[in-house]
């Protein structure tokens, strides 16, 4: 009797430990935040990366700068489109708005976004499961009505509105839901295919 009780107790304890392990493993999946309302940036000019091979000595006049740097270059990045300013807003409703000024009339601009989306998925296989949290491979999308993109007005103003789902296209539109990491956002000159602006700031005391 006692021995039987001990055996069943051991089974129960083992089961509890196993359950505990499973619960702790499950809780390792972090929760989404409750709220993330918008992604709002201003754009600055995109410059070519400075590498040691292109570096020159910096001699002044500012004392607190690195000893080396590279002459500003725009070979990999676009050097054709001038820009006064540009802003981007992506909201939690999936709306995307671009606003800018100081662009030449006639250029074709695109917005490139790299996103990493994690969302609940109703059904997965290999292994099979339902209502699972899935992270998808990073996807880079282009917003703007291809092939014309966003077009500045004759006055050089840029104002465009679209949606995440429209940028993703019908085959990927369900990626516009969930924990959406904006890995990268940049403006592209569609005529050269080169990036001319990325997120940043021009400090006012500069």
Partner 1 sequence: MKRNVPVLGAVATLLVLGRAAPAQVSFPSIARGYATWLVRAMDPCDPATLSVVSPTNLPLGGCAQANTATDDALGETFAILRVTELGKIALVGTGFTFADTLRVRLVIRVTRSGIDTSVGSNQNVTFMDRSIECPRAPETFSVRPNGLVAGSTDLGACLAPDMDLNRGNLQILDASLIDTANGRVMAVPGVLRVGMSAPRHR
Minimum CB distance to partner 1 smaller for 1 or for 37: 37
Nearer to partner 1 by C-beta: 16 or 58?
A: 58
**Closer residue to partner 1 (CB): 14 or 146:** 146
C-alpha torsion 152→153→154→157, nearest 10:
-80
- Residue 169 CA, chain-centre distance (Å), reads 17
What number of other Cβ atoms are within 10 A of residue 181's Cβ?
15
151 vs 182, beta carbon nearer partner 1: 182
Tokens of residue 168, six digits: 């993703």
Which CB sits closer to partner 1, 12 or 73? 73
- Tell me the closest approach of the beta carbon of residue 9 to partner 1, in angstroms: 34
CB of 92 to partner 1, least distance (A): 5
Pair type for strands 95-101 and 158-163: antiparallel
Least distance CB 56 / partner 1 (angstroms):
5
Q: How far is the CB of 164 from partner 1 (least distance, A)?
A: 7
Task: Report the nearest approach of partner 1 to the CB of residue 188 (Å).
Answer: 15
Closest C-alpha to 115, from 163, 169, 162, 185: 185
Q: Is the CB of 2 or the CB of 57 nearer to partner 1? A: 57
Distance from C-alpha of 17 to C-alpha of 41, rounded to nearest angstrom: 49
Residue with token string 């109703």: 122
- Which contacts qualify for 128-137: CB closer than 8 Å, 24 or more apart? 133/29, 136/175
Backbone angles phi, psi at 194, to 5 degrees: -100, 150
Q: How far is the CB of 119 from partner 1 (least distance, A)?
A: 8
Buried b (16+ CB within 10 A) or exposed e, 36-67: eeebebebebbbeebeeeeeeeeeeeeeeeee
């Amino acid at each position: 009797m006692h021995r039987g009780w001990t055996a069943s107790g051991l089974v129960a304890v083992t089961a509890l430990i196993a359950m505990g392990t499973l619960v702790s493993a499950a809780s390792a999946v972090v929760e989404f935040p409750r709220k993330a309302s918008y992604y709002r940036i201003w754009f600055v000019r995109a410059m070519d990366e400075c590498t040691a091979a292109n570096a020159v000595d910096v001699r002044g006049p500012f004392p607190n700068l690195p000893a080396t740097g590279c002459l500003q270059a725009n070979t990999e990045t676009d050097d054709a489109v001038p820009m006064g300013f540009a802003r981007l807003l992506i909201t939690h409703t999936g709306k995307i708005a671009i606003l800018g000024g100081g662009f030449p009339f006639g250029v074709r601009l695109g917005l490139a976004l790299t996103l990493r989306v994690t969302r609940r998925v109703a059904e997965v296989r290999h292994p099979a499961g339902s209502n699972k949290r899935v992270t998808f491979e990073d996807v880079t999308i282009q917003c703007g009505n291809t092939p014309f993109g966003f077009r500045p007005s004759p006055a050089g103003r840029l104002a465009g509105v679209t949606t995440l789902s429209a940028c993703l296209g019908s085959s990927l539109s369900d990626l516009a839901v969930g924990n959406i990491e904006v890995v990268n956002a940049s403006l592209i000159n569609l005529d050269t295919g080169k990036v001319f602006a990325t997120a940043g700031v021009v400090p006012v005391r500069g």
